[in-house]
Amino acid sequence: MRAFISYSHQDAVALERLHVHLANLHREGRVETWYDRDILAGDILDDEISRELEAADLFLLLVSPDFIASSYCVEREMQRALERHDAGEARVVPIVVEPCEWAATPQLSRLKAVPKDGNPISEWANANNAYLNVVREIRRIVDAGETAAPASSAPATQWQGTPPYRVQRDFDEIDRSDYRDAAFITIKAYFRRAIGEIDAVEGLRGRFVNRGETAFGSTVVNRGRQHGAAHITVQCRNAGFALGDIYFSFSESAADNKANGGFNVSSDAYEQFLIATTMMFGDEPDRLNPEQAAAYLWNRFIEQAGITHT
């Protein structure tokens, strides 16, 4: 399998570590990687990259702030990779190297990112465990022989925006669990990003705490208000958990059996969505996608500190 690695040169250290962890797959002859350092002196850079973009079976994107800031990485390499992914010709795997707004990028947020839950490699206590998780996922792809994207390999649709048809389907417990887990990742990424925004505002402070795969916490402080601090703990549990599929408590390091409210996964004949189970606000919406649920919960959270998002 031929893998094209797209990366910012600022992330050269991450690239080298990835190659170290791919050593077994290289040795077995199961993965052959290509990146721009393989271009020989005197070669025409863009021609070589274009050739490899068309030859690759697998695209590994080393996602970081520098990657997202690079027009060439995003608009040239990632764009072509995603076109081939959508056409069923190859597979794109985002590898999150450093904290960044990858989940706010629609082209990336729809894909499963690695390491687990899209947690940046730099935030793992032992980076080798993160790379091991990445390589195990790549090995799964190789073992399954699934270099093409799971979407249909049929030609792309000709319309733009929402397709003109809706198709009914039944959702089983695996669908429900997958939706819950993806929604939790979206909410977690939203809070991480929003805390960064809070920290950039004069008079406000914020802290995001990752409490593992199924929980995170946040704190905001409004220095202009007495008692202007707010805390939240958000948790995700197995389907059927009494407090909700995703639930929260307005306290720091809340126990897993305490909640002020939450969200349950529901569905109609066409799609899945979240329903707010909070009883303390009185204006709970009855149907939310994960992004809407994240924004709704964030606004309720910061209101506790006397902050309003404009």
Given this model, what pLDDT does residue 41 score? Answer: 45
Q: Extract the runs of DSSP E, i.e. beta strands, from 87-201.
A: 91-96
Terminal C-alpha separation, the chain: 49
Centre a 10 Å sphere on the Cβ of residue 106 and count the other Cβ atoms it contains: 7
Given this model, what pLDDT does residue 165 score? Answer: 62
- Listed in sequence order, the residues at least 6 apart from 259 whose beta carbon sits closer than 8 Å to its beta carbon are 235, 243, 244, 247, 248, 249
The residue among 186, 214, 215, 199 whose CA lies nearest residue 292 is: 186
What's the CA gap between 88 and 112, in Å, rounded? 16
Q: Could you state, in order of their start, the residue ranges of all structural domains in the chain?
A: 2-144, 173-303
Phi, psi dihedrals of residue 91, rounded to the nearest 5°: -130, 140
pLDDT in tens, 280-304: 555 666 788 888 898 899 999 999 9
CATH of the structural domain 2-144, one choice from 3.30.565.10, 3.40.50.10140, 3.60.20.10, 1.10.3980.10 = 3.40.50.10140
Quickly state the pLDDT bin for 237 (edges 50, 70, 90): confident
pLDDT in tens, 34-69: 887 654 444 445 677 888 899 899 999 999 999 999
Given this model, what pLDDT does residue 192 score? Answer: 87
DSSP state of 288: B
Q: Which amino acid, 215? A: A
Q: What is the pTM of this model?
A: 0.50
Mean pLDDT of 68-96: 91
pLDDT in tens, 212-236: 888 999 999 999 888 789 999 999 8
Given this model, what pLDDT does residue 241 score? Answer: 54
Above 60 in pLDDT, residue 32? Answer: yes
Please tell me whether residue 234 adopts helix, strand or coil conformation. strand
Give how far the C-alpha of residue 261 lies from the chain's centroid of Cα atoms, to the nearest Å: 24
Taking the alpha carbons of 78, 32, 129, 150 in that order, is the dihedral positive or negative?
A: positive
pLDDT in tens, 152-182: 333 444 444 445 567 788 888 888 888 898 8
Above 70 in pLDDT, residue 97? Answer: yes
- Listed in sequence order, the residues at least 6 apart from 7 whose beta carbon sits closer than 8 Å to its beta carbon are 14, 15, 35, 61, 62, 67, 73
What are the angstrom distances between the C-alpha of 272 and each of 176, 268, 269? 8, 7, 9
What's the CA gap between 214 and 117, in Å, rounded? 10
